[in-house]
């Protein structure tokens, strides 16, 4: 791109607020009381072992680039190989492991491609707010920034636990396999020197598709964890129930699932049993696998209606679109892509059976924003069990959050939305993401006040509730 001067990196205190000075002042007033409110993070992918070990983070690239598929995808999109960004090859071919400093230089050299994206916003927030750096990334400043970051990351205050405290994270939910023994969660809960709450989330997706590679192996591991045979369908159901109890005993309040579609249709036990056997025998047909998956999805809803674990639904993603990248670098490498949504018809059976059950709770997320006004908000606007999940993944951006609020508020208001989720693997980005959400919600509320659709006092109350009572209620979080 055209060369530009490299100004100092700084965060304007009014960023993301509306432009009109009066409305900007309103937004500031709405934002300030929640700017430093504790963070409830009810959905994400941070590894609990990170907090348990509390070791220094690695080099800056290993911390901020290689594990973050948001960053990877945009660098890949301009032609940088995933291997050059530090992703190890899984297919046996050898590729020289790049140096962290070289990866960092790639990021800085390509800083312009992130202009206007939320990834840029989050990275800048982290550099300034967490590390106090002031050089704007560019080819010229890459080494200086790398050195400064590397030095800071060796200090005590930049280890995971001090950051956890500094971020004011009150609750952090992880995402976990039902067969997981939750050792890290248990150790953290028992550690008298750690005061946060790190809750597991039950995600059973790996057990839903009897035609998937490795299904029977996973069933065997689950069987061992649950102490119940999973050779039969009824055994699998029992094992899942047992593991849900185990998770709940260790603080879990929610499940997560990300099915290929959202159809939930129960099968007669005998039919499920028959397909289960075919799955173990490796003779299951595509149609049988779909029927089995939709049945298990229905059964998971039924279990939630029974044990009260909040059911999160993150559907509609084409996973690992680029087969060569999948083979070489595995999953979560930046090429998961949004699919067309669909909720109203597919969820009819589950909502007819459990939609008004006060124990059952279903939070609907989407990567297809056309569903906000057409499906998700209308569903949340009738069914007491349904909540409109916050904008997710490709849509957790300042612009898309405003579109989300504009699209869902009409049909379901604020109190049937979920509160923000960060859904991140990048631990250091958590405060920037929540702050972005708070600023954007303040901006939206300020516009409603400025157009006389809301009283200032009520807007203030809503801004507060959106970061406290709402996520606590929706996800049934502990408050001590």
Which of positions 308-367 make contact with a second copy (CB under 8 A)? Answer: 318, 321-325, 334-335, 337-340, 344-345, 348, 351-352, 355-356, 358, 367
Q: What are the tokens at 303?
A: 């279990």
Distance CA 412, CA 389 (A): 12
Question: Which residue in 109, 374, 425, 476 binds a second copy (CB under 8 A)?
Answer: 374
Least distance in angstroms from the C-beta of 301 to a second copy: 15
Which residue from 141, 230, 295, 412 is in contact with a second copy, where contact means CB under 8 A? 412
Q: Closer to a second copy by CB, 192 or 358: give it.
A: 358
Query: Which residues in 205-244 contact a second copy (CB under 8 A)?
Result: none
DSSP 3-state of 466: helix
Question: Which of 247/360 has CB closer to a second copy?
Answer: 360
**CB of residue 18 to a second copy, shortest distance in Å:** 8
Q: Which of residues 14-33 bind a second copy (CB under 8 A)?
A: 14-20, 22-23
Stretch that binds a second copy, among 253-261, 266-274, 291-299, 400-408 (CB under 8 A): 400-408
Q: What contacts 383, CB < 8 A, 6 or more positions away?
A: 351, 355, 356, 362
Asked if 257 contacts 311 with a C-beta cutoff of 8 angstroms, the reply is yes
Q: Least CB distance from residue 34 to a second copy, whole Å?
A: 11
Q: Minimum distance between the CB of residue 455 and a second copy, rounded to whole angstroms?
A: 5
Q: Which residues 111-170 are close enough to bind a second copy by CB under 8 A?
A: 112-118, 120-121, 136
Give the residue with the Cβ less far from a second copy, 115 or 287: 115
* Comparison of 148 and 441: residue with beta carbon closer to a second copy: 441
Nearest-approach distance from CB 112 to a second copy, in angstroms? 6
User: DSSP character for 417?
Assistant: B
- Return the bridge partners of 172, or none: 41, 198
Which DSSP state fits 111? G
Q: What is the residue-wise DSSP string for 39-52? A: EEE-S----HHHHH
Give the nearest distance from C-beta 94 to a second copy in angstroms: 19
Q: CB of 146: closest distance to a second copy in angstroms?
A: 22
Choice between 189 and 337, CB closer to a second copy: 337
Handedness of CA 218, 287, 354, 341 (dihedral sign): positive
Residue 272 or 400: the one with the smaller Cβ distance to a second copy is: 400
Is residue 398 within the footprint of a second copy (CB under 8 A)? yes
Q: How far apart are CA 366 and CA 374, in angstroms?
A: 12
Rounded Cα–Cα distance for residues 287 and 275 (Å): 10
- The CA-atom distances, in angstroms, between 179 and each of 27, 220, 373 are 46, 10, 37
119: closest CA among 419, 396, 403? 396
Size of the site for a second copy (CB under 8 A): 102
Nearer to a second copy (CB atom), residue 57 or residue 360: 360
Backbone angles phi, psi at 262, to 5 degrees: -105, 15
Site for a second copy in 423-462 (CB under 8 A): 447-448, 450-455, 457-458, 460-462
Tell me the closest approach of the beta carbon of residue 464 to a second copy, in angstroms: 5
Stretch binding a second copy (CB under 8 A), from 148-156, 202-210, 383-391, 427-435: 383-391
- Site residues (CB under 8 A) for a second copy, limited to 72-91: 73-74, 76-79
Nearer to a second copy, 56 or 398 (CB): 398
SS3 content of the chain, % helix, strand, coil (to 5): 50, 5, 40
Give 35 or 183: the residue with its C-beta nearer to a second copy. 35
- Between 47 and 84, CB nearer to a second copy: 84
DSSP state of 436: H
C-alpha to C-alpha distance for 368 and 256, rounded to whole angstroms: 18
Convert 384-409 to b/e letters by CB count within 10 Å (16 or more is b): ebbbbbbbbbbbbbbebbbbbbebbb
User: Which residues, including other chains, have CB under 8 Å from residue 324's CB and lie 6 or more apart?
Assistant: none
| Interatomic CA distance for residues 9 and 74, integer angstroms | 21
């Amino acid at each position: 791109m055209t060369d530009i001067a490299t100004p100092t990196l700084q965060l304007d205190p009014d960023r993301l607020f509306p432009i009109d000075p009066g409305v900007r002042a309103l937004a500031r007033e709405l934002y300030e009381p929640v700017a430093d409110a504790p963070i409830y993070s009810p959905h994400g992918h941070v590894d609990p072992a990170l907090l348990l070990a509390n070791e220094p983070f690695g080099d800056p690239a290993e911390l901020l680039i290689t594990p973050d598929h948001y960053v990877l995808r945009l660098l890949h999109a301009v032609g940088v190989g995933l291997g050059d960004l530090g992703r190890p090859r899984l297919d046996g071919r050898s590729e020289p492991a790049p140096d962290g400093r070289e990866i960092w230089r790639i990021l800085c050299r390509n800083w312009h491609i992130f202009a206007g994206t939320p990834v840029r916003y989050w990275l800048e927030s982290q550099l300034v707010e967490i590390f106090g750096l002031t050089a704007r990334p560019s080819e010229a400043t890459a080494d200086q920034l790398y050195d400064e970051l590397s030095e800071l990351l060796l200090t005590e205050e930049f280890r995971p636990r001090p950051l956890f405290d500094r971020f004011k994270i009150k609750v952090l939910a992880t995402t976990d396999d039902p067969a997981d023994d939750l050792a890290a969660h248990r150790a953290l809960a028992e550690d008298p020197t750690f005061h946060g709450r790190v809750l597991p989330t039950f995600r059973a997706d790996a057990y839903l598709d009897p035609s998937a590679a490795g299904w029977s192996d996973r069933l065997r591991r689950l069987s061992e964890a649950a102490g119940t045979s999973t050779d039969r369908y009824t055994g699998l159901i029992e094992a899942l129930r047992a593991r849900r109890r185990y998770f709940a005993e260790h603080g879990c309040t929610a499940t997560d699932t990300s099915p290929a579609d959202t159809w939930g249709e129960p099968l007669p036990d005998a039919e499920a049993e028959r397909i289960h056997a075919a799955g173990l025998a490796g003779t299951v047909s595509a149609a049988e696998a779909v029927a089995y998956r939709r049945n298990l999805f229905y059964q998971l809803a039924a279990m939630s209606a029974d044990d009260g674990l909040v059911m999160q639904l993150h559907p509609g993603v084409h996973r690992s679109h680029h087969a060569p990248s999948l083979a070489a670098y595995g999953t979560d490498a930046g090429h998961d892509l949004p699919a067309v949504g669909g909720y109203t018809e597919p969820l009819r059976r589950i909502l007819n059976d459990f939609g008004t059950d006060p124990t059952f709770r279903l939070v609907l997320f989407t990567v297809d924003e056309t569903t906000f006004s057409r499906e998700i908000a209308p569903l949340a606007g009738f069914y007491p069990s349904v909540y409109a999940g916050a904008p997710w993944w490709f849509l957790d951006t300042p612009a898309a959050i405003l579109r989300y609020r504009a699209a869902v508020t009409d049909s379901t208001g604020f109190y049937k939305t979920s509160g923000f989720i960060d859904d991140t693997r990048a631990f250091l980005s958590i405060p920037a993401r929540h702050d972005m959400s708070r600023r954007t919600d303040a901006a939206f509320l300020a516009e409603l006040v400025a157009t006389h659709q809301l009283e200032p006092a009520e807007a203030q109350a809503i801004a507060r509730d959106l970061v406290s009572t709402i996520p606590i209620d929706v996800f049934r979080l502990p408050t001590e």
